[in-house]
Amino acid sequence: MQVGEALKTLFSTGVVKRSEMFITSKLWTSDCAPEDVSKALARTLEDLQLDYIDLYLMHWPFRTKPGSRGWDPEIMVPLCLPDTWNAMEGLFASGQARAIGVSNFSTKKLQDMLGYAKIPPAVNQVECHPMWQQHALHNFCMSTGVHLTAYSPLGSPGSWIKGEVLKEPLLIEIAEKLNKSPAQVSLRWGIQSGHSVLPKSANESRITENLSLFDWCIPHELFLKLSQIHQQRLLRGDTAVHETCSPYKSLEDLWDGEI
């Protein structure tokens, strides 16, 4: 509700126009039953005090019981992705969502969806950074016209997610050569790779630094050198895996081998 009030104030006072903002929200796993999809977006629009959302993403390729919270395996329930996606398509048709997409979808799951979708997902938002470069998924997205967006492009330093992307020695070495910060090199790597990046910060100086990416580039030889970094998925999704309660019996199942 606080975000909605802030947006209302910004728009009503002319600080920014609605058309100048791109607002994304996500369908949570407990709202993935087809009959719940439109109600979930309606709540979001009410909370944000908006008539439409620019992009609405299906958060994960699994479903939990309505109203549930947390990650207890016992709250997992069967999901029919084609039916849920059909409901997402209805939001696009109504104009409530100007674009629809997915998040945390493997190459295979995305490929399967493109086979049954009437409206293909505009975006696949996934973990992507120099320590988890997602080359196969990236190439597939580019070949099919699905835009790849990177969350945690800096590896989420200071959060519960383990892994120190910005302390990677090769990244630090290249940053020093370019007189940039490791964060800037990590973000610039994403942009030069051809996908958008979603860094998150409440620190004004870091926000300014994160925006200073468009008047320089990583030289080709150094860009290629970043491919030498050891690859490690940080947000593994372990809590979505269970031998009896989840449709995914292993991390290999959840990510279709991309782990």
All structural domains of the chain: 2-255 (3.20.20.100)
Q: CB neighbours (10 Å) of residue 109? A: 18
Q: According to the model, what pLDDT value does residue 77 have?
A: 84
Sheet holding 147-151, edge to edge: 24-27, 55-58, 100-103, 123-127, 147-151, 196-198
38, 39, 42, 46: CA torsion to nearest 10: -170
pLDDT of residue 254: 84
The annotation status of 129 as a binding-site residue, yes or no, is: no
CA distance 138 to 230: 18
Contact criterion met (CB below 8 Å) for 11 and 34: no
Phi-psi region of 176 (alpha: psi -120 to 50; beta: other; left: phi over 0): alpha
Instruction: Determine the pLDDT at residue 158.
Output: 54
pLDDT tens over the chain, length 259 residues = 588 999 999 999 999 999 999 999 999 999 999 999 999 999 999 999 999 999 999 999 988 888 888 777 778 888 889 999 999 999 999 999 999 999 999 999 999 999 999 999 999 999 999 999 999 999 999 999 999 999 999 986 555 566 689 999 999 999 999 999 999 999 999 999 999 999 987 888 888 888 888 999 999 999 999 999 999 998 888 888 888 878 888 888 888 788 8
